[in-house]
Every structure is written in structure tokens, then in C-alpha cells.
Amino acid sequence: MSPFTLEAGLGVLLLVVFVAGLAARGSDRRWIGWLVLAGVAGLEALAFALSPVEPAPGAIFVQDGLALFAKRLFLAATLVGVLCGLAPAAGPFARRAAEYHLLLLSSLLGMLVLASARDVILLFVAFELMSIPLYVLAGFAKRDGTAVEAALKFFLVGSVSSAVMAYGLSFVYGAARTTALAGVARAASSGDPLLILGLLAALTGFGFKIAAFPFHMWVPDTYEAASTPFVAWLSVAPKAAGFVAIFRVYFEGTGAGAFWGPIVAALAAVTIVAGNLMALPQENAKRLLAYSGIAHIGYMLVGVAAASASGTAMVLFYLVAYVFGNMGAFLVVEAVARAEGSEHLGAFRGLAQRSPLLALAMLLFLLSLGGIPFVAGFWAKLYVFWAAASAGLYWLVLLGAILTVVALFYYLVVARRMYIDAPVHSGRIRLDPALTIAVLLCVLGVVALGLWPKPLVMAALRVAAPLY
Amino acid sequence: MGGVGEERRSLPPTSNDPVGLNAYLILAALVFSVGLAGVLTRRNAIGILLGIELMLNAVNINLAAFSRFGGDLTGVVFALFTIAITVAEMGVGLALVIAIFRARRTVEADRLDLLKG
């Protein structure tokens, strides 16, 4: 099989959606969403049917284990994201469904190429193909002043970080005299200061995209103002892509245990502390999840700082657990917000009495995010800490463990609202079928990984091993 | 894009170039700094966009200089891609500025203080 199969398939789907958008009539074009859903589900099935291809020497586009693992994850996240974006009948999302899904799929195409890129130019182009549609999607409700303002903020921070990253990559090219990551790895062993400068500047760019601490400022505003189905996807898929790009450039490109290890460890520490502490006073559910998401990025960076095959594998496992837990939590926020018209935490009061199953699903997601045993997040945190400990980063493990307790506090505040506080309104919260399926998929992921993490851990270890 | 070293076309020798590689790198660093300063201090969204444009142009100066003095064309190809991406990015940026002007009747970034951190 050609390594481009998935990308070609997605390209065809993009064309089909484009033509469907041209042919569509009327103000309710949500059927295009179903078309996209079928296409993405087909691509996901194809991704599981494919097997890794041994890369040709000097290939700039590889379909190795890591690429395939990442692509399955991106497609799964997009599947859930498209499912929960199907429902809103009113407003721009029904009328401009073709545009919305075209942008979503373009960004997905960028992610798929990014996962396979082993050349600096291809990596940068794919990174931008992923990023630019996100700015448009954040401001998709273009009559809504706050959404457009959040989109502009997101755009400005994002494009400044891209510029810094491109500046860094230009030095990488200058020092290595080649754009192939294999050549960069050879040059890195000589310790050229120009190359180190370039890689550090590029790390700043990646830090912005995954929203590590000093570069996180766009996250809460964008999450609060943009539409929730999009935010659920934004909070997981591009972050996962950012981590895969980091693995490509900093592990495959420069070899493990290089100069940047302590820098990533410090970045992880401040991200965990800042994310968790800033989440504490939040009263808006989406802002709370935004800051808790920043903290999770910090935990994943702990695994990156370990700079080992097991560390990388555990970050991949963490990403999968985070995709299901975090998207699930956003989906419940969306369900509650549709019924109550509010994303404030107060809207969750007495949810357990009104819709016990929805409250149970939210509780599972929160426990997974908090890292309680027998849901996915517990194993994710445990494995990442274990990898960091075996790399000798005991201080980082201790810090992370302490702040996990802090994190439990704000997750349990939401649980208390749902289970102990009396409801303000009565009556069940109605979920439409698409959203129900999306929530169920996330519950299934969180519980299955919590009870039976071994197959995924083994798969992650298998794909991470060749990087070292 | 790299990989096939033998087939690469090399550029004419640059040994008689009166200004060296470092001069170009310093010029790029200056342009980049001016752009970054513009991004951080401008209150007008259009001004910030101009700053970003300058930063990306510094990248192109770097790439062209490395390509010229390193004697291979990959850097020029990289610069072409950077230019195309910059255009796409600025298209989206200007569209967002127009959208925010329609919604708010201002492009003064008075609430855009997040880059000050």
C-alpha cells in the first residue's frame, strides 16, 4: 500500500464535501455533516486496516508505526468532534455546514501529513495547514463579537508563534545544510550553537501550539468564546499533533537526552503548577477545562522530559486517555449548555437527580482527568510518572503528584454540584442521538482503557521504540 | 526537498561576495526584532499584522542567505513555501480584522493585552 492512502482518501472526501457544498440548497445543510461523518468513519476503518510501511532511506514522508498510531488517534477525535457538531439546528452551523466541515477536514489533513513528515519544510507546511483553518473555525460565528475577538487573539498568538518557529527552523536548515530530519540529527551531534538556537526557537513555536505554560494565554479566551463542539476537538486533536511533531523533531531529529531535556522538564513543572492553580478559581465550565487542559499538557511534557522510549510511549497513551476524557467532559458541558443556556458551573447543580446517566458520564470523565484508579487517566498519569522516575526526574514526579491532589479538588467541586447540590430546574436534560453516541464513545474509551490498558500500552511501546 | 545530494544544482561560488553570511544574518535578526517589537507594542490590529509580516520576512532573508552561502537550493524552496504560507495566514488575519470591525466598529486592540505577559 502507498504511504499516502489515508491522505489521498481524505483529499477525495474534501472534494466531495466541497462539491456537496456547492450543490446544497436551503438553510439547513446539516446532511453534509452526516456525509463527513461517514467519510471519517471509513477513513478510521481504513487506518486500522493499514499496517506500517518500512520507510525508504531518505524518505521525507513515512508511514511508520508512530505515524499510523497518531493518525488513528486524530481520526477518532475528529469522528467524535463531527458527531457532536451535527446537532445545532439554528444559526451558522446549519447554514454553513459545508464550510465548517471543509475547514475541519483541511486541518485534519494537515495533522495527518504532520504525523508522517520527516523533513523540516514538509513539517512546517503541514503545521500551518493544521493551524490556519483553526483560526477561521474559532471565529466561525462571525456575527458574534466575542467569538471573532477570541479568533483574532488566537490568530495573533498563533501566527507570532509560527513566525518564531519558522525563524528557528531557518537556523536549523542553515546549520544542518539540509532539511531532512536525518541530516539534522547528524548535525546535532556536533553541537553547533546555531542549530541549538534554532531548535530552541522552534520549541517556542511548538510550546504555543500545545499551550504549555508561558504560551497558554490564548487558551481560556478561545475556549470560552468558540462553539463547544469545535472546542472539544480543538482541545485534543491539534495538541496531539503538536506532541507528535515534537517527537519527530526532538527525538528522531536530534537524538534523545540532548541539551533540551532540562528545559522541557522546567516547562513541564511550570505548566503543571500554573494550569492547576489557575483552574481553581474558575466558575465557567469551559474555562475550568481550559486550565485543566493546560495542566494535562504539563503532565504529558513530564513524559517528554523523560526522553526515553517508555516516556514517549506513555505520552502516546496519555494522549489517548486525554482525548476521551477531555472531549467527553466538553460534550457534557455542551449537553448541559444546550438545555440550560449557560456554561456556568451553576448549571450543573443537581444534575444527578435530573439526568443520572449524564451525571455519571461526567463523573467518569472528571475522575479520568483527575487520575482516579480504574479509569483511563489513572494509568496515564501513573505510567508517565513511572517513565519520569526511571529517567531520574524524581522532583518532577513529586511535584506532579502533589498537584494531582490540587486538581482533584476542582474536579470534585463540579462533582459536588452535580451530586450534592439541589437542582434549580427540574426535568431531564434531553440529548439528541448524535450527541448521545458521542458521549457513549467517550465513556467506552475511558472505561475500557481504565480496566484494560495493557493492549494500548504495548502498542504505544512498539511504535515508540524505533525512535531511539 | 533534500535527500538527493548528487542531483542538487549548486549555485555559483560566493567567495568574492563583499558582505559575508553574518551580515545577512544580522540584517534578518534586526528585521525580526523590529517585527517582534511592533507586535508587542502596537495597539492597532493592522499594525500587529505588519509586525508578523516583518518577522516572517526575516525568516526569508535567513533562508535565502543560508541557501546562497551554503550553495544549495533547498533554502530557496523553503522560502517559497514560507511566502505562500505567509500569504494564506495574512489572508485569514485580514478577514478576521474585517469581521471584528463589522462586529465592533473598531480595530484598536484595546482588549488584546494577552501578548503583554
Q: Where are the domains of chain A?
A: 256-468
Residue A456 has pLDDT above 60, yes or no: yes
* Partner residue opposite B96 with nearest CB, options A119, A124, A135: A135
Nearest to B66 among A135, A173, A221 (CB): A173
Residues 6+ apart with CB under 8 A from A356: none
What was the pLDDT predicted at B110?
A: 60
Give the CA distances from residue A136 to residues A31, A284, B40, B100, in Å, rounded to whole numbers and listed in that order. 22, 24, 23, 12
- Nearest 5 degrees, angle CA A449-CA A454-CA A459? 100
The alpha carbons of chain A give a radius of gyration, in whole angstroms, of 21
* Summary count for chain A: helices (H), strands (E): 21, 0
Domain ranges, ordered by start, for chain B: 21-104
Sequence length of chain A is: 468
Give the position of cell 470560552: A224
Asked whether A180 and B3 are in contact (CB, 8 A), the reply is yes
Q: Is the pLDDT of residue A405 over 80?
A: yes
Asked whether the predicted pLDDT for residue A431 surpasses 90, the reply is: no
The answer to whether residues B67 and B25 touch, using CB atoms and an 8 Å cutoff, is no
| pLDDT at residue number A255 | 61
Share of chain A above pLDDT 70, in %: 97
Q: What angle do CA A49, A50, A52 make, to 5 degrees?
A: 145
Q: Is residue B66 over pLDDT 60?
A: yes
Choose among A7, A35, A40, A21: nearest CA to A109. Answer: A7
DSSP string, chain B: --S-TTTPPPPPP-TT-SS-HHHHHHHHHHHHHHHHHHHHH--BHHHHHHHHHHHHHHHHHHHHHHHHHHT-THHHHHHHHHHHHHHHHHHHHHHHHHHHHHHHS--B-TT--GGG-
What's the mean pLDDT in A91-100?
Answer: 80
Tell me phi and psi for residue A435, to 5 degrees.
Answer: -65, -40
A343: helix, strand or coil: coil
Residue-level pLDDT at A135: 93
Is residue B11's pLDDT more than 80? no
Q: Does A132 touch chain B (CB under 8 A)?
A: yes
Query: Minimum mean pLDDT among A55-59, B25-29, B77-81: which range?
Result: A55-59
Are A177 and B99 in contact (CB < 8 Å)? no
Residue A392 cell numbers, joined:
531520574
For residues A150-158, give the mean pLDDT. 89
Grid cell of A180 as nine digits: 531532512
Spell out which residues of chain A touch residue B102, defining contact as CB-CB under 8 Å: 142
Length of chain B: 117
Interface of B with A in 69-108 (CB under 8 A): 70, 72, 74-75, 77-78, 81-82, 85, 88-89, 92-93, 95-97, 99-100, 102-104
Local confidence band at B82 (pLDDT 50, 70, 90 cut-offs): very high
Segment A265-270 shows an average pLDDT of 91
Q: Confirm or reject contact between A373 and chain B (CB < 8 A).
A: no
Alpha-carbon gap: B24 to the closest alpha carbon of chain A (Å): 12
Report yes or no: A371 and A380 within 8 Å, Cβ to Cβ: yes
**Range with lowest mean pLDDT among A210-219, A342-351, A358-367, B108-117:** B108-117
Whether the pLDDT of residue B56 is over 60: the answer is yes
Question: Which whole-number Å values give the CA distances from A364 to A12, A357, A360, B44, in the listed order?
Answer: 37, 11, 6, 45
Across the interface, whether the CB atoms of B96 and A120 are under 8 A apart is answered: no
Q: Are A81 and A137 in contact (CB under 8 A)?
A: no
A180 SS3 class: strand
Q: What pLDDT, on the 0 to 100 scale, is given for residue B33?
A: 95
Q: pLDDT averaged over chain A? A: 88
Distances (CA, A) of A353 to A269, A283, A344, A368, A420: 39, 21, 18, 22, 9
| Category of A59 on φ-ψ map: left (φ > 0), alpha (ψ -120 to 50) or beta | beta
For B12-26, what is the mean pLDDT? 74
- Is residue A74 pLDDT above 90, yes or no? yes
Using pLDDT thresholds of 50, 70 and 90, give the confidence band for residue A348.
confident
Q: For residue B115, give the chain A residue with the closest CA.
A: A157
Out of A96-100, A188-192, A444-448, B50-54, which region has the weakest mean confidence (pLDDT)? A188-192
Q: Between A186 and B106, whose confidence is greater? A: A186
Note the ipTM here.
0.86
Interface contact B55, partner A, CB < 8 A: yes
- Give Cβ neighbours of residue A337 (< 8 Å, ≥ 6 apart): A228, A285, A343, A347
* For residue B2, pLDDT beyond 80: no
Whether the pLDDT of residue A88 is over 80: the answer is no
Q: How far apart are CA B9 and CA A460, in angstroms?
A: 42
A255-289 burial, b at 16+ Cβ within 10 Å, e below that, comes to bbebebbeebbebbbebbbbbbebbeebebbbbbb
As to burial, measured by CB atoms within 10 angstroms (0-12 exposed, 13-18 middle, 19+ buried), residue B11 is middle
Paired strand residues for A119? A180
A180 forms beta bridges with: A119
Question: A197 — contact with chain B (CB < 8 Å)?
Answer: no
pLDDT at A371 over 50: yes
Residue B4 confidence class, pLDDT cut points 50, 70, 90: very low
Identify the pLDDT of residue B16.
57
Does residue A124 belong to the interface with chain B, where contact is any CB pair within 8 Å? yes
Report chain B residues whose CB lies below 8 A from the CB of A128. Answer: 85, 88-89
First vs last C-alpha separation in chain B: 38
Global pTM reads 0.91
- pLDDT (average), residues A197-222: 86
Distance between CA atoms of residues A212 and A184, nearest Å: 25
* Residue of B62, B92, B93 lying closest to A171 (CB–CB): B62
Output A276 or A431, whichever has higher pLDDT: A276
CB atoms within 10 A of CB A183: 21
Q: How would residue A56 be classed by pLDDT, with cut points 50, 70 and 90? A: confident
Q: So what's the pLDDT on residue A12?
A: 95
Residue A200 pLDDT > 50, yes or no? yes
- Placement of cell 515534537 in the chain: A246
Asked if residue B105 has pLDDT above 80, the reply is no
What are A202's three cell numbers? 522552534
| pLDDT band at B116; cut points 50, 70, 90 | very low
Q: For domain B21-104, say whether CATH 2.70.240.10 is its number.
A: no
- Residue pair A313/A384 in contact (Cβ under 8 Å)? The answer is no
CA distance A463 to A459: 6
Helix (H, G, I), strand (E, B) or coil at A117: strand
Average pLDDT of the segment spanning A316-322: 93
Q: Identify which of B3, B97, B109 has the shortest CB distance to residue A58.
A: B3
Which of A121, A161, A216 would you mutate first to test chain B, the one with the most B CBs within 10 A? A121
Cell of B47: 499594525
The shortest C-alpha distance from A57 to chain B (Å) reads: 9
